[in-house]
Amino acid sequence: MKDVPRVRTVLHGVRNGRTQELNDPESVVEIPVPTIVPLPLFEAVQAKLTRNNPTVTAPRVVNGPILLTGLAVCATCGSGMTRTGTKRGNRSYSYYTCAGCHQKGPSVCKGRHIPLAKLDDLIISNVKDQLLAPERLEDILCKLVERRTSRQTEVAERRCALEAQRNKAKDKLARLYRAIEDGVVELDADLKGRIQAIKQERNLAETAIERITDTAASRTQITPARLAAFSDLMRDKLDTGDIHARKAYLRAVISRIEVGDENIRIIGEKTSLEKAVSTTLTEKIPVSGLVRKWCRL
């Protein structure tokens, strides 16, 4: 993967705010804007937002009564695993079926069927046995601490760069004000525009510094006790919660389940897991949902 540039440039003052005409290129100010998050993380977040968009993922997928709808996909064609069923006598049987094969035929995918209850039990038991096992949680703790340490280093570097940018803008303003007071330069329209541009650069840096400070203050420390609380809460919800609670907690730590003939892969994202662990004590697991409200218009 190519290195991601840490700083990009934004042009300020390209057009006149009132007339929208192009300004003199010499009056345009280049403002350096450091990268806030790494490109891979940004792309992962955008992909998740796209998946959760109601126009892409139907609300019934997120809030429906089927546990793995929206998570389980066919390992062959990538289509979602949809619920199908059959009835024999007085007994009904439900299955997860490849939607590609079921809706478009075997020319798209040869398809596969697996009993609904069997796949649900497999996923829940493996999440509890593999993800929530004490030794696994200890390994997760070490990796999360490493991730946070690395992130804190990047944040500290960004904060230093922003403070240097803010101080540089303040020095420019001080020199300009001194030159005006001493009569070295006249306060004309061009100089007013230059002062406003420097103020904007200073304000952007100060806002970014405040945001970094607020984020650091609100960040919850991940400890062995918090991981244990997370494990206990997850186990309790998966064992005793209703279908919506179980589905919500699974979606908090799992992004995709690939169902094949021989193997089933459970895939999750470290960022989602870290967020879920950080919110365990408040029991506000970060999940997607839909609030249905009537609108008269």
- Separation CA 243–CA 119 (nearest Å): 15
pLDDT on residue 52: 61
pLDDT at 290 over 50: no
Token digits of residue 210: 């405040």
- Taking the whole predicted model, whether its pTM rises above 0.85 is answered as no
Residue 289 inside a domain? The answer is no
- Give yes or no: residues 198 and 66 share one domain: no
pLDDT on residue 288: 46
DSSP string, 270-291: HHHHHHHHHTGGGT--------
- Give yes or no: residues 183 and 79 share one domain: no
Residue 152 inside a domain? The answer is yes
Residue 1 inside a domain? The answer is no
The candidate with the shortest Cα–Cα distance to 131, out of 289, 285, 268, 295, is 268
- Give yes or no: residues 258 and 206 share one domain: no
pLDDT digits (tens, 9 = 90+) for 47-105: 667 666 655 555 555 556 788 888 888 988 888 888 888 888 888 889 999 988 888 88
Least confident of 11-15, 49-53, 201-205, 254-258: 49-53
- Give yes or no: residues 11 and 157 share one domain: yes
With cut-offs at 50, 70 and 90, classify the pLDDT of residue 297: very low
pLDDT at 180 over 80: yes
- Give yes or no: residues 64 and 208 share one domain: no
pLDDT digits (tens, 9 = 90+) for 234-284: 888 888 888 888 888 888 888 889 998 888 998 887 777 777 777 655 545
pLDDT at 217 over 70: no
> How many degrees, rounded to 5, is the angle at CA 131 between CA 73 and CA 121?
55
- Separation CA 192–CA 184 (nearest Å): 15
pLDDT on residue 287: 47
Query: What ranges in 85-242 are assigned the alpha helix state H?
Result: 99-104, 116-126, 134-181, 189-218, 224-240
**Among 218, 236, 266, which residue terminates a domain?**
218
- Give yes or no: residues 22 and 85 share one domain: no
- Give yes or no: residues 79 and 103 share one domain: yes
Could you give the 3-state DSSP secondary structure of residue 132? coil
Q: Which helix (H) or strand (E) holds 266?
A: strand 264-267
What is the domain extent for residue 204?
7-35+138-218
pLDDT digits (tens, 9 = 90+) for 126-147: 988 888 887 787 787 777 777 7
Query: Mean pLDDT throughout 136-161?
Result: 79
How big is the chain by its Cα radius of gyration, in Å? Answer: 27
**Among 218, 244, 261, which residue terminates a domain?**
218
**Among 218, 245, 267, which residue terminates a domain?**
218
pLDDT at 182 over 70: yes
- Separation CA 167–CA 172 (nearest Å): 9
Residue 67 inside a domain? The answer is yes
